[in-house]
């Protein structure tokens, strides 16, 4: 689905990403984890065309680096950003309709609305409420639903569990598992490293802008993760 080769990003003199390379097979969940400032969010923003980058990014074999975010969304990509970024002054239903505006055709809009309201029952209850009045967990569900209204093939998630209560974190990870079962491909940036590793098919660990380790949940032990995050060897 997605191939990233030698992706690099600079903010002035600061190197945010340095030669990052990984792939996202279709139907998989691939996680990017690491300490704060490692470059995880920057990788997503570069892939989505929000920040300038060098290297190569291919979506289903076609080069997309440098294309506009709008163009990438129309190609089947969607980003749920850190902090959710819902439209607080619009109602829940209006936010969902905005999510569908990226589609080339508006066929089956009502069916898609019903699908997402069934998937997230709390949004049906709050459908006419201003989105800004929702709790953090409800806003996160709205951000998911809004992205899914665009019928993406590749979903990029930036810290979806950040700041949420434990019960809502469980809901988020249960949702990601269901979306994988439905065939959606997911690239996940997540601060909850243990949960991300357990969920993902494959995980890449970033530190200071570089991938320093990669593996499955069996290959990334707790002791090894501690040393990768801190840069200090664990005896």
Give 180-197 pLDDT, tens digit per residue. 999 999 999 998 888 999
Q: Residues 156, 48: contact at Cβ < 8 Å?
A: yes
Q: What is the pLDDT of residues 94-134, one digit of tens each?
A: 999 988 887 666 668 888 899 999 999 999 999 999 998 99
Cα dihedral angle (221, 27, 206, 44), rounded to 10 degrees?
-150
Its pTM surpasses 0.75: yes
Q: What is the mean pLDDT of residues 53-74?
A: 93
All CATH 3.40.50.300 domain ranges of the chain, comma separated, are 2-76+152-230
Residue by residue, DSSP assigns the chain as -EEEEEEEEEETTEEEEEEEEEEE-TT-EEEEE-STTSSHHHHHHHHTTSS--EEEEEETTEE-TT--HHHHHHTTEEEE-TT----TTSBHHHHHHHHHTTSS--TTHHHHHHHHHHHSHHHHHTTTSBGGGS-HHHHHHHHHHHHHTT--SEEEEESTTTT--HHHHHHHHHHHHHHHHTT-EEEEE-S-HHHHHHH-SEEEEEETTEEEEEE-TTTS-HHHHHHHHHS----
pLDDT at 226 over 70: no
Tell me the pLDDT of the chain averaged across its residues.
89
Q: Which residue has the tokens 């990226």?
A: 102
Instruction: Give me the pLDDT at residue 36, please.
Output: 87
**CATH no. of 2-76+152-230:** 3.40.50.300
- 232 — pLDDT class (breaks 50, 70, 90): very low
């Amino acid at each position: 689905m997605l191939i990233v080769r030698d992706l690099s990003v600079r903010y002035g003199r600061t190197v945010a990403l340095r030669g990052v390379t990984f792939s996202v097979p279709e139907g998989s969940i691939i996680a990017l984890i690491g300490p704060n400032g490692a470059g995880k969010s920057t990788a997503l923003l570069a892939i989505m065309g929000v920040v300038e980058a060098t290297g190569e990014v291919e979506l289903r074999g076609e080069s997309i680096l440098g294309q506009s975010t709008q163009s990438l969304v129309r190609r089947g990509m969607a980003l749920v950003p850190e902090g959710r970024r819902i439209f607080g002054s619009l109602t829940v239903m209006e936010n969902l309709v905005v999510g569908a505006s990226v589609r080339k055709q508006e066929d089956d809009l009502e069916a898609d609305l019903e699908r997402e309201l069934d998937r997230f029952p709390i949004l049906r209850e709050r459908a006419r409420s201003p989105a800004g009045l929702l709790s953090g967990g409800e806003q996160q569900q709205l951000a998911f639903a809004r992205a899914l209204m665009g019928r993406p093939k590749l979903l990029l998630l930036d810290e979806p569990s950040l700041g949420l209560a434990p019960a809502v974190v469980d809901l988020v990870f249960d949702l990601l598992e269901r979306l994988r079962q439905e065939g959606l491909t997911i690239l996940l940036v997540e601060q909850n490293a243990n949960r991300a590793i357990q969920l993902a098919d494959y995980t890449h660990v970033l530190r200071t802008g570089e991938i320093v380790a990669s593996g499955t949940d069996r290959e990334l032990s707790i002791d090894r993760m501690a040393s990768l995050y801190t840069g200090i060897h664990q005896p």
